[in-house]
Amino acid sequence: MSYISGLKCRECGRGFPAEALYVCDFCFGPLEAVYDYDSIASVLTRETIEKRQPNMWRYRELLPIVGEPTVGTQTGGTPLIRTDRLAEALGVREVWVKNDAVNFPTLSFKDRVVAVALTRAKELGFTTAACASTGNLANAVAANASAAGMDSYVFIPSDLEAGKVLGNLIFTQNVVGIHGTYDDVNRLCSEIAGKHGWAFVNINVRAYYSEGSKSLAYEVMEQLGWKAPPNIVVPMASGSLLTKVSKAIGEFQKLGLVEDDTKTRVFGAQATGCNPIADAVKSGKDFFKPVKPNTIAKSLAIGNPADGFYANRVITESGGWAEDVSDQEIVDGTKLLAETSGIFAETAGGVTVATAKKLIEQGRIPSDDSVVLCITGNGLKTQEAVADHVGEAHAINASIDEFDALLQQAEPKTEPLVAA
């Protein structure tokens, strides 16, 4: 049973069939999935959802596939953690962390978008998956394509972190590092996509891919006890995740799955070294200036963001805001999350935490309120970014005397186990 009624141009509203189309023939606007919400409302209740398996497909009526999911069937269902220690450090009443650093199978929220993109790509008859990626998307495409028996080609900037490059090579030899920025990679891939019959998840099947992001926000609302959060901070690369978080909240309100009187303020987070969307929001412009990225937050380094215009609009209309943070603040944010909450996030997580800190200090997120932070990727993939900021392990021989000497050098932090 399918609830997708087609695709629609986000600019002129013209309708298109649910095929591998992504731009409007008439005005070049991007296409978006459209659903039959009346039919969905008659089947998708809280009780139905709660009876299903704890993964992203428990909301399958709201995802743009026709048959049953065949790729990423275990993806999603990540923890939402209340962290009072981080709340105290940030000076806000309540903090929830949505932890997609432990998403299955490749430890980032990109597994969600790829699960939808490849399920739909298979339905449309594609046998090869491809992408232009800042790192995590490539990992998710390579892994999920392998599991689905599809070929894959992944295109990345050649200077990515070692963990992200190896996280492709373990699945496929078709890893192409481009000397240039993500925006150069993306431009090349748009040419390649027209030439080969491949499903480029974020190009010709982007209308399906992008909808997968909604599942992160559906989960947050269900985990909050069927409530929309009053504030949510979302890291931005292309800006797609942020727009889909907002769409998901609107859908749950329309379907009566959450009370519709919580108005969610949506906040965007970027690195100062690549802040085209945050800059547009802060300077009150309804367009953005493309930039050449220079930041350790490589997963967010998109200088010409495809959904930047829409992300700006969502943020502004929701009463939210956007901020950007320096590389040093990103490292500090990553460490703060680790030390208060026991979560090792990648650089994008540092961006989100440090941006939240700034927004709370500015009073944009009220200190007596509750906020959800979207942690979208895993720190084990971006070790280079923090390696010089965490000190070194102590090396000693297996000798109790050497250990005692070591303890004496450092101030003991804990009470002795046995009272003297």
Ligand X SMILES: *Cc1c(COP(=O)(O)O)cnc(C)c1O
Q: Is 166 near Zn ion (CB under 5 A)?
A: no
Per-residue x/- marks for ligand X, 342-371, CB under 6 A? ----x-x-----------------------
Q: Binding residue for Zn ion (CB under 5 A) from 3, 4, 8, 9?
A: 9
Q: Is 390 near Zn ion (CB under 5 A)?
A: no
Closest distance of CB 309 from ligand X, Å: 13
Residue of 228, 265, 225, 296 lying closest to 365 (CA atoms) = 265
For ligand X (CB under 6 A), the number of binding residues is 17
Nearer to ligand X, 108 or 304 (CB): 108
Are 241 and 376 a contacting pair, CB within 8 Å? yes
164 binds, among ligand X, Zn ion, none (CB under 5 to 8 A by kind): none
Q: Is 78 near ligand X (CB under 6 A)?
A: no
The interface region with ligand X, picked from 122-130, 151-159, 234-242, 325-333 by CB under 6 A, is: 234-242
Nearer to ligand X, 83 or 134 (CB): 134
Q: Binding residue for Zn ion (CB under 5 A) from 6, 11, 184, 226?
A: 11
Q: Binding residue for ligand X (CB under 6 A) from 168, 181, 204, 299?
A: 299
Cβ atoms within 10 Å of 216's Cβ, excluding its own: 25
The interface region with Zn ion, picked from 21-29, 62-70, 178-186, 225-233 by CB under 5 A, is: 21-29
Measured CA to CA, the distance from residue 378 to residue 139 in angstroms comes to: 12
Site for ligand X in 149-208 (CB under 6 A): none
Closest distance of CB 24 from Zn ion, Å: 3
Q: Binding residue for ligand X (CB under 6 A) from 75, 99, 103, 136?
A: 136
H-assigned helices in 133-209 = 136-148, 162-169, 182-195, 206-209
Percent of residues in the chain assigned helix, strand, coil, to nearest 5: 45, 15, 40
Site for Zn ion in 29-68 (CB under 5 A): 29
The interface region with Zn ion, picked from 28-36, 108-116, 187-195, 198-206 by CB under 5 A, is: 28-36
Closest distance of CB 233 from ligand X, Å: 12
Closest distance of CB 33 from Zn ion, Å: 15
Q: Is 240 near ligand X (CB under 6 A)?
A: yes
CA 241, 247, 253: angle at the middle one, nearest 5?
140
352 binds, among ligand X, Zn ion, none (CB under 5 to 8 A by kind): none
What tokens were used for 154?
């992944």
CA 195, 170, 63: angle at the middle one, nearest 5?
60
Q: Is 72 left (phi over 0), alpha (psi -120 to 50) or beta?
A: left
Q: How far is CA 333 from CA 85, 191, 235, 323, in A?
A: 14, 38, 13, 14
Q: Is 110 near ligand X (CB under 6 A)?
A: yes
Which residue is nearest to ligand X, using beta carbons? 377
What tokens were used for 285?
């412009």
Q: Binding residue for ligand X (CB under 6 A) from 193, 236, 301, 330?
A: 236
Closest distance of CB 47 from ligand X, Å: 31
Q: How does DSSP classify residue 212?
A: G
346 binds, among ligand X, Zn ion, none (CB under 5 to 8 A by kind): ligand X
Q: Is 396 left (phi over 0), alpha (psi -120 to 50) or beta?
A: beta
Q: How far is CA 380 from CA 163, 226, 376, in A?
A: 7, 32, 13
Q: Binding residue for ligand X (CB under 6 A) from 103, 108, 341, 355?
A: 108
Residue 192 three-state SS: helix
299 binds, among Zn ion, ligand X, none (CB under 5 to 8 A by kind): ligand X
End-to-end C-alpha distance for the chain, whole angstroms: 70
Measured CA to CA, the distance from residue 338 to residue 336 in angstroms comes to: 5
Q: Binding residue for Zn ion (CB under 5 A) from 27, 102, 166, 380?
A: 27
108 binds, among ligand X, Zn ion, none (CB under 5 to 8 A by kind): ligand X
Residue of 89, 92, 95 lying closest to 368 (CA atoms) = 92
Residue of 333, 322, 311 lying closest to 364 (CA atoms) = 322
- Interaction site with Zn ion (CB under 5 A): 9, 11-12, 24, 26-27, 29
Contact positions toward ligand X, by CB under 6 A? 108, 110, 134, 136, 235-241, 299-300, 346, 348, 376-377
